[in-house]
Structures are given as C-alpha cells and as structure tokens.
Structure 1
C-alpha cells in the first residue's frame, strides 16, 4: 500500500469520532443559505441539534426557562419540520410533550398528527389503540384520515377499504384526500387497473377530484402503458372547471410519454409544463431539467439551468444534484466537473451526495484516479467524505481487478463508518476484498480490516477465512480463532476446511 493511501487512512481514523457530526440529516438537508441573523424562534434552537437520536424536549424546556414563550404554531412547525426530515421519533416526542406537559391546547389536527407518528414509530396496533381511545369529539375527519393513511402506508388493503367505508357512512369522506389515499394504495400494491374505478366512485359520491386525483390516475395509466387512456384523462382534466392545470401534471404526462417511447409528445407536454410553472419555482426547473436530460436535449437543459439561476434564489444542494445528474446523463463529464467546482465554492452546506454523482460517473467511465484525487483533496482540506463516497471508488477498482486499491478505499470507508446513516458496506464487494486479503494480505492488514468491518457487520465465515489463512501463512497458531468461531456460532466453510487441511498436511509432511 503506498504512502499516500496510508496518510489518507490515518487522517480519516483520527477524525472517526467526530465524523459526520456537522453533516447530519439536519445540516446536510438542502436548505438555502441566509447570511442574515435568524429570528430567535423555537425552530432556531431545535434544527441545529445534530443527532437524530437526541431528545429535543429538554431543549424546548430550556428555551422556556430563559423566558421565551411557545405557541402551538411554533411546536406544529417543529413537528412538521422533523417529519419532513424523517425524524419521526423526535417529532413524536415533541408532540407528546405538547399534549401532556405544555398546557397548550391540543386540537383534533394535533391528535391526527400524533396518531400518524405513532403508526410510523410504534406500528399499526399502537395507532389503532390511540384512535380507539380518542374522545368522540376528537374523532373528526382528520383523525379518521390519519388512521387511513397508516393503513395505506402499511399496505393493509382490506383494513383500509373497511375504514374508508366507515368514513363514508359517517359522512367524513367529503374531500378528495381519502379517495386519493385509496388510489395510492392500489397503485402501491400493483393494482393499477383499480385506480380509475376509485376516481369514478369519487365522482359518483359527489366529490370533485383534484389535481392529485387525476395525476395518480395518469401515472397509473403509465404503469399499464395505457397511453390512450392517459390522453383521455388529461383531456377530461383540462375541461374540469374546478381544476387549475399545473406543471406537475404535465411533467407526469411527459414522463409517461418518455417511458412509452413517444419523445415528441413528451416535448409538447414539457412545453405546456413550462408555461404553467411559476418562474421562481426551483422544483419545477429541477423536474424539467431531469426530463430534458432523458430526452438528451443538452440545449434545453442548459437554457433551463440559466433561467433557474436568474429567476430563483441561489442554487441549493438539491439543484446541483439535479443538474450534475443531467450533465452526467448527457455524458458531459467536463461540464459536470466545472459545475462541481461552482458547487464547492458556493455557500451551501457540504453534502457528499453532490460529488457522489461525479464519483459514480468516474466509476462508470473508468476514471477512478480522478475520483481518488478528488477524495484526497477533500481530506487534505479537512473535509470528511462519507463512507459511500469511498465505497463507490472501491467498487470501481474491484470491477477493474485492482483489489489492492479496492481494499484501501474500502478501508477508508470503514474508518468513517457510522451506523444508521444510510450506508452499509456492499456484502459481495467486501467478500471479494476478504478473499483477496486471504490469498495475498499481510496479517496486520487483514486484522486491521476485520476490526474495522466488525463495526458494520457481525463476524462470519467469510471474515474468519482471511484471518485463519493469514495466520497460517505467517506461521502462527489459529486455535483462538477456531474457538472464536465456535463461540460466535459460525460454521467452518469449505474454504476454511481446505486451508486447515492443507496446513495440517504441511505439518505432517515436515514431521
């Protein structure tokens, strides 16, 4: 292993304890930079809390002890933000504190939110129990709708349909939302042929479909390759007086056309989408850029990117992610490299999902030296690439048969590994590296790699194999490893049996 790789590994190990603290789900979320001093509101002390496992209630109570007031709206905003960031357990803790300890009113809408959070965190049984114990005055359409949403999320079709019927009987299904939920349930369970029947039933029940109702049906038509049916739905939607056509619908239509092999029609739909969008809506630009990239229309991609930069606030991480992905899809790596430099010099929080787009492009095109050099640059500048960034490059080297470099990159990935952050080492790739180490690795290298890997995966025969083989190759005893295997409940693999047998024969031969 060369000195440069060792230097990088040592730097990464020194920062292991603090890795990712400043790049947690809160800090890496795509948010806009605001140089002005933030308002002193509750959110300003909640959202900077880095750990997703931290209890936020003490933070709220300290805020109040300092003489600050907390209104229901403040807590509702915090809960909404936590849900958006998928920190459901923390959101539930805040909701429970609001209900039991805050002396603030806890209204039907708050009950509905808490019910939904209970379903996510504790499961359906707990959500049903919460609903059943609600006072009758709080069993509004919101609470019923929240429980329906839980059934839909858990794909419990029979219970969802029975609950929907109960809502109809009670006169609580008077808006599109519950019908849309049932349509989503059918779509999620692959029953696309039933989606349109829900739309028909909605109209029979005197409920006017909204944009989302039609859009779910349009996407469902696409899943069935029913372009003709989709066109009829679109025409019907455009004629409905209560519907204001939006860009989302036309991009959904364009996506169906693209998937069905009608690029010309897709372009016409995108032109309609652009006419309907708010010129300062960055999300709309993101969708259009992605779809034009799929059409391999570089001119439109660049035009829309310039419009986005001119008409919207400064680009955030999400915008760079979309544009980089578009450039990579267009096979314009040089332009992607220029854009990455612009992102790096921007004032956005460092989010390694952005350079990972380029790392994957380097992996696909075989330019792994560029990827490694970029990672080295981040480390030298005191940045901390995530495990998946190193893992991408490791996979690339393994595919090229350069297992020594694959080992070095995966070792770096394991040096900064932290559980529950969305990355786990690829089992097949790691096994390839383990086998390589068993055949060629120095005992110290093998032991170091296994120690790092143990944090991410339990010991198994694939991990014991290189240890045993390296020990035998170094002329050392393996009895403690065999005992460890027995204690861990790991059976000897054929490879291990073969290694032990060969070692025994060598010993007999020498004697």
Structure 2
C-alpha cells in the first residue's frame, strides 16, 4: 500500500523517500540477550587522513569541525580524538547536541560515530535516551538486524522505555509486524510504558501495512490501561477511519478530543482544521458510501495524507507540511480539490499566504483537476463557520490578488 507507506514514514517525522513505497524514564525490562558489545568493529576505521584539513578558524569549535566532514567516509571519531588530543574538553551534553543536529541533517553515520565515542569515553554518563538514539542510528546505518543485536546485548538496566520504543520504531519502519507485536506485548506485560509512544508506533505500523482493523483494538487497549493519548494518537485513529470514509466515527473522535482534559492550543487548531476540511472537502455529504469507497479505494486512502497535513499544521510544523505536500505532488496520483483545500487551509492557518497563493496557482494550472471556484467558496464559508473570520478575509483578498474573486453570497 504505497500511500500508507509514506504516511507511516512522515508521521514518525522522517524524510520520505517516495510514495513507492516520550521522554519518559521507566523501570527496565529484562530481555534475554548476549553480553553487551561495541560496534566499533563495524564502524569505518579512522586513519591519519580521515579528517579534512582546513585553515584554523578563530571561532573554531567541535561542532564546526564535525560538520565540515561532509563526506560519510570522513571520520567523526578521528575529529573527536584530535580535539581531545589538543587538550580540549567536551561534555556529554555537547556531544548529544552534535549527534542530534547531525541526525536532523541526515548525517547518520557521523552521528553514530559520536554515539560510539560517547559509549567508549562517557559510558557512565549515558542516559536511556542515549541508548534509544543509538538504536535508531544503528537502524539507519546498518539496518534493523544490527539495531536488534545491539539492543539484545544491552544490560537489563539499559532496556528502558526509550530503548524498547526505539527498537519498536525500527520494527515498525521495516514493517516487521510479528516482531513488533511481540515486543509490544512484552512492553505492556512489564508495565514499562505509561505514555502513548508505543501505541502510536503500532498504529503507524498497521496503517503502513493496511491492517486498519487493528487500530481500534490498540485504542481500546490504551484506554483500558489509562494511558493518556496525545495528538498523534488521535490523528492516527482519525486517519484510519477517514481512509474508509467512516466520517461519523471521525466526528465522534473529534468530539472526544474536545472533551480531553489534556487538550491544548494544538488540539484546538487540529479540530478546527479537521472541521474545515470535512466541511469544505464535502466529506460530510451523504452521497459518499462504502460501496463507492471500494471502487475508489486509492483516492480514499489518499485522505490519510490530508489528516497528516492537518496534524503538522496544528503543530506549526511548516517544514513537515512542505515535505508532505512536495511528496504528494511528486507522485502520479491524481490530486483532487479536497487535497488542494486541505493544504491551502493549513497554510492559511499558519499565515503563510505566499505558500497558499502558490498552491492556488498550481491548482488553477493543474491538468488533473479542473479548478472550480465553488470549492473555494466552500472553504471561505467553512473558515467563517469555524470562527476564523480574519483568516477567511485574508483568503478572500488572496483570491482577489489572483484575479479569481469568490462568488459566495457572504463575500461583501
């Protein structure tokens, strides 16, 4: 299921390849495994020529040195050894931040070398989160089997919530359903996790492999154990029902969100955007049926990405919003007015009028879907219905700038 594959990747926050395709400390869980071992043997060895030589920088620091190692074959380990050999010091917190920045820049091999250096020189200072990052980096550089071996080799005291969830994430990304389910059961049996992270990973996995019928039992289990759902939990839950066009259930979930005592401004934004989308995208019309869904299943699966856009818009994550929209446009999938309405309304909520205008231009030029001003009229009305009068007026002004005035009777 191609669209579900991208959804699974993006909801975890990673950069998508193509459509072909918690921060809680807890008691450790005991898993059988071999003694802990270092992965220094599989990381590229450093040599005297591994570090790029550059003129001295008056503002030289370790982070700059590591980031100047642009090619993966360059050794971050050698850069660290050289730094310390010059009599300089480096703290564990500084190393964590450098590794985090490298990971964000997709410099996984260098980030893993930083993690390995920390294990060798700062093992006493390692936290549960350090082990979790190590597992994630092992997966990205060497694959899930290497990450699994590393996890099994950890002492039981290090097999914490973060480490287990990181391995679960690796299993889910690789669509190893059976392994993920077994690990998930062990996590629950040990009462290791009282956060929604592990549940979210399983929901993401089931969406990616098309087993939407398994989403509701996960939600029921979460509620039974009194685990507090987060915004990602609700988005995954809603997306699973939106994919089969069970809009009445989507509405019920939104109502439940509204009653959630832990809701915040992001939840409110999400509910507003979802309501705008359901109304302006005509998903509330009675002429949609499950029989029709069966005939157009690829288009209905496409709806899940609209809710992913809504999620990141509610979180103010414009970068991920851009990533998702770019990925959707790069496919041969036919874009509909519903998709355009979703991304336009999300950009409007983030007050990114320039980007919203670019989407409008693209929509009008699109050969796949004839531009219909009535769709924009519905969006204008939905924005006002949601209490976003200023946003609605900005949208109207934007349409006028595009020489495409709205025809809604409320436009005056």
Partner of residue 42, structure 1: 62
Partner of residue 100, structure 2: 80
CA 1:97 to 1:302, structure 2 compared with 1: closer, same or farther past 3 Å?
closer
Q: In the TM superposition, what is the alpha-carbon distance from 1:48 to its structure 2 partner?
A: 4.2
Between Structure 1 and Structure 2, the one with more helix by share is 1
Partner SS state of residue 230, structure 1: helix
Counterparts of 1:230 and 1:38, CA distance in 2: 58
Counterparts of 2:226 and 2:240, CA distance in 1: 23
Counterparts of 2:347 and 2:191, CA distance in 1: 51
1:321-371 deviation per Cα after TM superposition (whole angstroms, max 9, x unaligned):
x76455333439xxxxxxxxxxxxxxxxxxxxxxxxxxxxxxxxxxxxxxx
Partner of residue 91, structure 2: 71
1:144 alignment partner, one of 157, 160, 164: 164
Counterparts of 1:55 and 1:128, CA distance in 2: 24
1:247 alignment partner, one of 269, 290, 294: 269
- Structure with higher Rg: it is 1
Please say if residues 281 and 338 of structure 2, whose CA atoms lie closer than 8 Å, have aligned partners that are also in contact: no
> What's the TM-score, normalizing by structure 2?
0.56
CA 1:131 to 1:281, structure 2 compared with 1: closer, same or farther past 3 Å?
closer
Q: In the TM superposition, what is the alpha-carbon distance from 1:120 to its structure 2 partner?
A: 2.5
Structure 1 segment 194-273 matched on structure 2, within 5 A: 194-244=214-264, 245-248=267-270, 250-251=272-273, 261=283
Structure 1 segment 49-448 matched on structure 2, within 5 A: 49-101=69-121, 105-244=125-264, 245-248=267-270, 250-251=272-273, 261=283, 294-295=340-341, 307-308=351-352, 324-331=358-365
Name structure 2 gaps, 5 residues minimum.
Answer: 1-14, 16-56, 286-302, 327-336, 367-412
Partner SS state of residue 295, structure 1: helix
Q: In the TM superposition, what is the alpha-carbon distance from 1:142 to its structure 2 partner?
A: 1.5
CA 1:259 to 1:103, structure 2 compared with 1: closer, same or farther past 3 Å?
same
CA 1:52 to 1:323, structure 2 compared with 1: closer, same or farther past 3 Å?
farther
Equivalenced residue count is 277
Structure with the bigger RCO (C-alpha within 8 Å, sep 6+) is 2
Name structure 1 gaps, 5 residues minimum.
Answer: 1-24, 26-36, 310-318, 333-511
Please say if residues 219 and 256 of structure 1, whose CA atoms lie closer than 8 Å, have aligned partners that are also in contact: no
CA 1:251 to 1:98, structure 2 compared with 1: closer, same or farther past 3 Å?
farther
Counterparts of 2:182 and 2:343, CA distance in 1: 48
Q: In the TM superposition, what is the alpha-carbon distance from 1:185 to its structure 2 partner?
A: 0.9
Structure 1 segment 2-41 matched on structure 2, within 5 A: 41=61
1:419-475 deviation per Cα after TM superposition (whole angstroms, max 9, x unaligned):
xxxxxxxxxxxxxxxxxxxxxxxxxxxxxxxxxxxxxxxxxxxxxxxxxxxxxxxxx
CA 1:82 to 1:204, structure 2 compared with 1: closer, same or farther past 3 Å?
same
CA 1:126 to 1:289, structure 2 compared with 1: closer, same or farther past 3 Å?
closer
Structure 1 segment 438-477 matched on structure 2, within 5 A: none
Q: In the TM superposition, what is the alpha-carbon distance from 1:294 to its structure 2 partner?
A: 1.2
Partner of residue 397, structure 1: none
Counterparts of 2:92 and 2:59, CA distance in 1: 17
Q: In the TM superposition, what is the alpha-carbon distance from 1:61 to its structure 2 partner?
A: 2.9
Please say if residues 187 and 193 of structure 2, whose CA atoms lie closer than 8 Å, have aligned partners that are also in contact: yes
> What's the TM-score, normalizing by structure 1?
0.46
Please say if residues 325 and 343 of structure 2, whose CA atoms lie closer than 8 Å, have aligned partners that are also in contact: no
Counterparts of 1:149 and 1:289, CA distance in 2: 24
Please say if residues 281 and 341 of structure 2, whose CA atoms lie closer than 8 Å, have aligned partners that are also in contact: no
Q: In the TM superposition, what is the alpha-carbon distance from 1:296 to its structure 2 partner?
A: 9.8
